[in-house]
Chain A
Amino acid sequence: MADLTTSYLGLDLRAPIIASASPLTGQLDSLLALERAGAGAVVLPSLFQEEVEAEEMAAVDMMEVGDGFAEFDSAPLAGIDMSGMGTQHHLDLVAEATANLSVPVIASVNGSRKGGWVDYAKELVAAGANGIELNLFSVNTDETESSADVEERYLEIISAVRAGIDVPLAVKLSQHITGLSAFALRAQQAGADGLVLFNRFYGAEVDLDAMALTSKLALSTSDELRYPLRWIGILRAQREGLGLAATSGVHSGLDAVKAILVGADVVCTTSEVLHAGPERIGGMIAELDEWLDAHGYPSANEARAAMSAANVPDPGQFERAQYMKVITSR
């Protein structure tokens, strides 16, 4: 049995496989199942500022239904316990998870207004989160905000949150950052302890019968791992001391091996456990362990970054996006 312990964002994990944010990490019983299966850490579902605030306002609105009706002594749903509405639901989950789990619990946040990021990150930390993941996601449609402006805004958020909390801080990014190497450097300087690569998004979908837009997230496939592999391979060679987590497309222990080989500290998995259940984490760990054993690695740490851009014979392979075959065929 190989030594699978790893350090990620300064957190000591028993295994390099993390259960990423999903409905399974939103409830204590499945969180416990993920822990039993061997997950090294868990990331709770993102607190979306826009969502929780809308929910909180809706709760207030519900309290006032029939406010002017003579025969309504209170709103119809006034008696329901609404203490778990909005933010509180997330804070309660953090408290419940950290009280019952022995593996690190990472809380995720997505702010919609300036200030929201820091405030909610602080609240999640106060509730007991062992680490914070900034789900740095926005669809940027402001015609006056350039790509550089967007990146500046992201960096401001990172440094503001860094200044506000004293637990490890990860930043989850999408692929849509043009100069990722430069951004990674500045993110690290701004205080990020690690990057989580990459976020997957709901795209647009058209329902032809209803002539309406729909947005249903499809589960990932192993193929999607190639993008995190590329950038982790590159960034591992460039950024010392920056934690790197691979996410999107991690479906097996062998996928984890690939990510670790290019330099990932950990891999995050969502689709696979959603599909196969929490216990699948155990299977993935066994596959990882088996491969390491078979290939003579006493620990995952030794395999880590063996194939980063710094350690492969042709690092350019990480960068060739379209014309690899053409060149090699000559």
Chain B
Amino acid sequence: MVDVSNTWAMTDGNEAAARIAHRLSDVIAIYPITPSSAMAEASDAWSAVGRTNIWGEVPEVVEMQSEAGAAGALHGAVTKGSLGTTFTASQGLLLMIPNMYKIAGELTPAVIHVAARTVATHALSIFGDHSDVMGVRMTGWAMLCATSVQEAQDFSLVAHASTLRTRVPFLHFFDGFRTSHEINKIRLLSDDDIRALVRESDVLAHRGRGLTPDAPSIRGTAQNPDTYFQAREAANVFYDAVPQVVSEVFDELAGRTGRRYQLAEYHGAPDAERVIVVLGSAWGTTKQAVDALNAGGEKTGVLTLRLYRPFPAGELIDALPRTVRSIAVLDRTKEPGANGEPLFADVMVAVAEHAEHFAAGTPRVIGGRYGLSSKEYTPAMAAGVFAELASASPRSRFTVGITDDVTHLSVTVPDHFDVGDQALGAVFYGLGSDGTVGASKNTVKIIGADENRYAQGYFVYDSRKSGATTISHLRFGDRPIDSAHLITEADFIAVHQFDLVNQMKTVDIAKVGATVLINSPYGTDTWAHLPREVQQIIVDRGLRVHVIDAASVARAAGLGARINTVMQPCFFYLSGVVDREEAIPRIKASVEATYGRRGRSVVEKNFAAIDAAIDALHELETPAVDSELHRMAPMPDSAPDFVKKVTAVMLAGEGDRLPVSAMPVDGVWPSGTTKYEKRGIAAEIPIWDPSICIDCGKCAIVCPHSAIRVKITPAENLDDAPETFQSKIYKDRKLADHRLIVQVSPDDCTGCAVCVDICPATSRTEVKHKSINMEPRMEHVAVERTNFDYFLGIPEIPRDHVRHDQVKGVAALQPLFEFSSACSGCGETPYLRTLTQLFGDRLLMANATGCSSIYSGNLPTTPYTTNAQGRGPAWSNSLFEDNAEFGLGLRLAWEKQNAQARRLVGELAGHLDPGLVSGLLTADQTAESGITAQRERVEALKQALASLDDSRAVHLLSLADELVDKSVWIVGGDGWAYDIGFGGLDHVLGSGRNVNVLVLDTETYSNTGGQASKATPRGAAAKFAVAGKSSPKKDLGLFAQAYGNVYVAQIAMGANQQQAVRALSEAQAWPGPSIVIAYSTCIAHGIDMATSMSHQADAVATGYWPLYRYRPTEEEGAVPLRMDSKAPSGSVAEFMMAENRYAMLKRANPGRAEELFALAQADADERWRYYSQLASVQRAKPKGN
């Protein structure tokens, strides 16, 4: 939040809401979930620096293991008479439902602030709609809905004040992302405002009701048929009072601030005939449409409810003009099978019960859905709905914002609908890594700081973690800005990365005569490098194009690749958003404010970049359209039809155009589509020098993106290889005359250099030259593309020709996980790829929500793929908290199917070849050759069954493939395994069933931005542990070992690839539960990701991450635990200091760091001592257990 005066601030909805919540709470129990996490993080940060609530107490912010846990802690805190709150969204809110019923049933004041988000159904979505809040409307919580950033602050106060007055708990919600993440200018509430609305007497009364042994009472009784019902009804009067109380609080707020809100608020013609009813940010957008339509002589209006529960039916009706003849109710949620969505149903009932209010009798009420998962809702869409209402026979149920060509529910939206937006709109296209979003946020805050100026910023992301694009939508004007939709006609467009003009639509949304700024390495020659489509738009619309080689300017100023400080002054200079002479001083002042605390050198480098920027800016001549280049290369012919028709459209950024008929009906999408998305994001790629290669395969086994591949093939297979294609003799006695190939995919490599880091082969005459070396992509891309294409066509080596217990053998197996959008250098993905090399053709995966579910399952393209036989990993993500249980379900189902198939084989034995039957039923499938043989038998079985006229044969045919063993893997991060999913994980491990668990342990919640988990080690700084975590890391492996029949391994790919491969194989082979805990380096650690693997090696060498395998056995006298790493050498602290999450703590607070580092060393020493002892303990599991 930027305080731009005592009373104004530039802030987003989350911070606006949290600021008040923190001032009014004693206990804040939270669990991170997008898009609400920032509220919790801000609260934690404020408490960490000692910011108090209005009563002078620093609120206790506690991170729980799940939202269910947070709700439980909240329930406890408010039961004791404290002031409590929490922040959540989506699945998190659903996990709170049981406690919500309890808190409401006990009439206990509490507030939950929700950044409303889509609930996972056929797919997860992190974006915004009301499906979560509508899913708790029956819990008995009052629901207050904010429509803007300003209201997110104001209603935060109203919620806290009203819950204390009414004793009814309040859920305060606003649109996820659209409001939670929009930066806007708001007027701040003062402490006096807060104190005026939150009455001390209510606080004391609440405390007085708190549970205390000094005046004991009992709650949570069990009631019986005699009294339960009446007791439920006894609370009615409290609910009846809520609307009036909220209304009073609104009035008091208006008295202090001048901002007047009503329970039901109407905007539009006083004699309107058609009205839309909406909740949330659609209010502002619909108002714009109403104003534009009414200016054209129509009679329309819009109504929003600030209070949704208890439903203010009377106020709703009173607010509607008596002239209304038809009403469209828009719900931002979907309730399949219902007679209508919730708001629609509520409004319908209210209207039906108050028909007398309307001059022309009961209006027609129709209900529609809009905006699911942050689907855009624009004034044009509102106009489309009004047009539907005006049509002869409006659809009673409809959708808006999509094209429904199946059930034909979608209303028609006009192509152009001008609302006369006076604000200046600027759109910035950038990459996730180039600071465009940060600079844009900064710009909004600079301009918004001006008196009487207003600014709004909204940011659109894709979900890739490497090579992500960002689009920043900024509005500037002299009046408050309440347009809650993207800019579709821009006055200014900046393309911060030149490649984006080729990859996506950019200038397409420029207004006629708009200004365009392009960061181009081609300077004044840029015109010739622009694709034809872009040239055409520039010429047709008379756009004024300016170019700058920002990368050169940034480099010269010592800023490396940080181009944002070069681009920002150009925007200020060109856009007219400030006077030209003011542009540079304003930016410098902002740089001083932003970076001043980071050191003068940073400020000076930025100043140098700013000073050089304007001089380096050139206006481009825009002659005739003459380019031979075209943007957005089409899909290769080899791509499947679905990919061409659907995926390609999504990749072009035009997924919004896809109609309903293009969509799979059940969320089931084809595998293996990342290969059609050639991103080409690496500046440098690894180039192989076969002359010094030692055939180890390490480069391929550690590659996070499966972009460097190994194949072993008979020499004759390479006879038609391109001249540039490299190979070498493969040194293996069993594979004589075979050649080894190490090949990079130049368009899929992200340039992380992890392969170079691990490569052990160095030149004898020049130690810096390895067998793999990073070289500029542009110099090699053409040749390597040809080579990689040829490489893909070389047959895979038969799976049983290489050893599966050796790195070099596994590296040569086909990876069935490729080109994911994980971060460059990701420490998790090498494990997953290895898993697919070992068991990919029979792999059934349950993946907990988190980074791994995003880079594995986030559309448009997904990385799990298939082999030449069409087999490959079958992957699904259920939820975050239930992953172990979900995976167990998959296993149980397979076991049942397998048992059924075996039974049917037995029953049909008389009709089948006896050798085939006994082969099928007694197959040893522990080795690859056994799997191959069983597959052959299954094929024979299918053929035999085809001619059998027996219903059992039909069943067996459908189950025959289940006679081949499946490998069930339950995969997730530490947030799942250590925290939210631990109960289920524990239960599944305790089940004795043959499931395998892979924990990708990054020691933090990586996906949601680095919050501490119970896997976070002592001394590490993380969100919710900003001063360094004081408790030690939970030893998950030890918990699992306690069972005695669970295979447990701790691995680190960078330290010992061999041990990692062996552990995964042993886990799979163990017929009971297995868990493999894999150390995974992460960008949240603050390391150079190029050194991911050597860093892991250091972790193991110092005892920070010991390697071991616990192999349960029935053998008397056996010692199941074996340490796979040597006794620690070197200090843990020294290792820790190589990570910024530790090193920064050392800088910030050396005393505490030293203390924690000493404890961390003691943890490591003690762990080693303890494990060393366990490694000599004999333990046998009872036979048959």
B1068 CB-CB contact with A under 8 Å: no
Does the CB pair B432–A119 fall under 8 Å? no
Instruction: Using known A-B contacts A60-B595, A64-B438, determine if residue A52 contacts B1022 with beta carbons closer than 8 Å.
Output: no
Within the complex, the shortest CB–CB distance from B137 to chain A, in Å, comes to 26
A114 CB-CB contact with B under 8 Å: no
A219 CB-CB contact with B under 8 Å: no
Within the complex, the shortest CB–CB distance from B1158 to chain A, in Å, comes to 15
Does the CB pair A52–B1007 fall under 8 Å? no
Does the CB pair A72–B1147 fall under 8 Å? no
Interface string of B584-608 (1 = CB under 8 A from A): 0000000000010111111001000
A80 CB-CB contact with B under 8 Å: yes
Q: Report B-chain residues with C-beta under 8 Å of the C-beta of A52.
A: 599, 601
Interface string of A96-132 (1 = CB under 8 A from B): 0000000000000000000000010001000000000
Within the complex, the shortest CB–CB distance from A122 to chain B, in Å, comes to 11
Does the CB pair A86–B41 fall under 8 Å? no
Q: Report B-chain residues with C-beta under 8 Å of the C-beta of A68.
A: 430-434, 436-437, 461, 468-470
Does the CB pair A66–B1083 fall under 8 Å? yes
**Interface positions of A from 65 to 111, Cβ below 8 Å from B:** 65-77, 79-89
Among A27, A52, A62, which residue has the most Cβ atoms of chain B within 10 A? A62
Nearest B residue to A29, CB-CB: B1151
B1004 CB-CB contact with A under 8 Å: yes
Among B37, B431, B463, B1009, which residue has the most Cβ atoms of chain A within 10 A? B1009
Q: Report B-chain residues with C-beta under 8 Å of the C-beta of A66.
A: 432, 1009, 1083
Q: Report A-chain residues with C-beta under 8 Å of the C-beta of B605.
A: 57
Does the CB pair B1148–A84 fall under 8 Å? yes
Distance A64 CA – B1007 CA, assembled complex (angstroms): 15
Does the CB pair A86–B1150 fall under 8 Å? no
Q: Report A-chain residues with C-beta under 8 Å of the C-beta of B14.
A: 73
Does the CB pair A76–B1141 fall under 8 Å? yes
Does the CB pair B432–A87 fall under 8 Å? no
Does the CB pair A79–B599 fall under 8 Å? no
A12 CB-CB contact with B under 8 Å: no
A319 CB-CB contact with B under 8 Å: no
Q: Report A-chain residues with C-beta under 8 Å of the C-beta of B1141.
A: 76-77
**Interface positions of B from 185 to 233, Cβ below 8 Å from A:** none
Interface string of B1142-1159 (1 = CB under 8 A from A): 001101111000000000
Does the CB pair A73–B601 fall under 8 Å? no
Distance A84 CA – B598 CA, assembled complex (angstroms): 9
A33 CB-CB contact with B under 8 Å: no
B126 CB-CB contact with A under 8 Å: yes
Within the complex, the shortest CB–CB distance from B419 to chain A, in Å, comes to 28
Within the complex, the shortest CB–CB distance from B750 to chain A, in Å, comes to 14
B506 CB-CB contact with A under 8 Å: no
Q: Report B-chain residues with C-beta under 8 Å of the C-beta of A63.
A: 598
B347 CB-CB contact with A under 8 Å: no
Q: Report B-chain residues with C-beta under 8 Å of the C-beta of A75.
A: 1009-1010
B247 CB-CB contact with A under 8 Å: no
Nearest B residue to A49, CB-CB: B601
Q: Report B-chain residues with C-beta under 8 Å of the C-beta of A279.
A: none
Distance A69 CA – B434 CA, assembled complex (angstroms): 12
Instruction: Using known A-B contacts A52-B599, A69-B465, A85-B598, determine if residue A80 contacts B37 with beta carbons closer than 8 Å.
Output: no
B1023 CB-CB contact with A under 8 Å: yes
Q: Report B-chain residues with C-beta under 8 Å of the C-beta of A65.
A: 1083-1084, 1086
Interface of A is mostly: loop
A177 CB-CB contact with B under 8 Å: no
Interface of B is mostly: mixed
Does the CB pair A57–B1148 fall under 8 Å? no
Does the CB pair B38–A73 fall under 8 Å? yes
Q: Report A-chain residues with C-beta under 8 Å of the C-beta of B1069.
A: none
B1021 CB-CB contact with A under 8 Å: yes
Could you count the A-B residue pairs with CB atoms below 8 Å apart for me: how many are there? Answer: 150
A211 CB-CB contact with B under 8 Å: yes
Q: Report A-chain residues with C-beta under 8 Å of the C-beta of B132.
A: none
Q: Report B-chain residues with C-beta under 8 Å of the C-beta of A82.
A: 597-598, 1144, 1147-1148
Interface string of B1122-1137 (1 = CB under 8 A from A): 0000000000000000
B45 CB-CB contact with A under 8 Å: yes
B481 CB-CB contact with A under 8 Å: no
A151 CB-CB contact with B under 8 Å: no
**Interface positions of B from 432 to 455, Cβ below 8 Å from A:** 432-438
Does the CB pair A211–B1021 fall under 8 Å? no
Chain A contact residue count (CB 8 A cutoff): 41
Nearest A residue to B1010, CB-CB: A76
Nearest A residue to B37, CB-CB: A73
B900 CB-CB contact with A under 8 Å: no
Q: Report A-chain residues with C-beta under 8 Å of the C-beta of B461.
A: 68-70
Within the complex, the shortest CB–CB distance from B585 to chain A, in Å, comes to 22
B1172 CB-CB contact with A under 8 Å: no
Q: Report B-chain residues with C-beta under 8 Å of the C-beta of A79.
A: 41, 44-45, 48, 1021, 1023, 1026
Instruction: Using known A-B contacts A69-B432, A71-B1009, determine if residue A86 contacts B599 with beta carbons closer than 8 Å.
Output: yes
B927 CB-CB contact with A under 8 Å: no
Instruction: Using known A-B contacts A71-B1008, A74-B1009, determine if residue A85 contacts B1021 with beta carbons closer than 8 Å.
Output: no
A160 CB-CB contact with B under 8 Å: no
Nearest B residue to A85, CB-CB: B1147
Interface string of B1-43 (1 = CB under 8 A from A): 0000000000000100000000000000000001101100100
B1140 CB-CB contact with A under 8 Å: yes
**Interface positions of A from 207 to 235, Cβ below 8 Å from B:** 211-212
Within the complex, the shortest CB–CB distance from A181 to chain B, in Å, comes to 37
A290 CB-CB contact with B under 8 Å: no
Q: Report A-chain residues with C-beta under 8 Å of the C-beta of B41.
A: 73-74, 79
Distance A89 CA – B598 CA, assembled complex (angstroms): 11
Q: Report A-chain residues with C-beta under 8 Å of the C-beta of B126.
A: 70-71
Does the CB pair B598–A56 fall under 8 Å? yes
Nearest B residue to A65, CB-CB: B1083
A59 CB-CB contact with B under 8 Å: yes
Does the CB pair B762–A81 fall under 8 Å? no
Interface string of B418-433 (1 = CB under 8 A from A): 0000000000001111
Distance A83 CA – B435 CA, assembled complex (angstroms): 21
Within the complex, the shortest CB–CB distance from A208 to chain B, in Å, comes to 12
Does the CB pair A56–B601 fall under 8 Å? yes
Does the CB pair A53–B1083 fall under 8 Å? no
Distance A66 CA – B1086 CA, assembled complex (angstroms): 12
Distance A67 CA – B434 CA, assembled complex (angstroms): 8
**Interface positions of B from 394 to 434, Cβ below 8 Å from A:** 430-434
Does the CB pair B1009–A80 fall under 8 Å? no
Does the CB pair B1021–A80 fall under 8 Å? yes
Question: What are 10 A-B contacts defined by CB distance under 8 Å?
Answer: A53-B601, A57-B602, A60-B595, A68-B431, A68-B437, A68-B470, A70-B463, A71-B1007, A74-B41, A87-B600
* Extra 19 A-B pairs, beta carbons < 8 Å, given A67-B433, A68-B470: A52-B601, A55-B1147, A56-B598, A59-B1144, A62-B1140, A66-B1009, A67-B437, A68-B432, A68-B437, A68-B461, A68-B468, A70-B34, A73-B14, A74-B1009, A76-B1004, A85-B599, A85-B1144, A119-B600, A211-B762
**Among all A-B residue pairs, the 7 with the closest Cβ atoms:** A68-B432, A76-B1010, A56-B599, A73-B38, A70-B461, A76-B1084, A53-B601
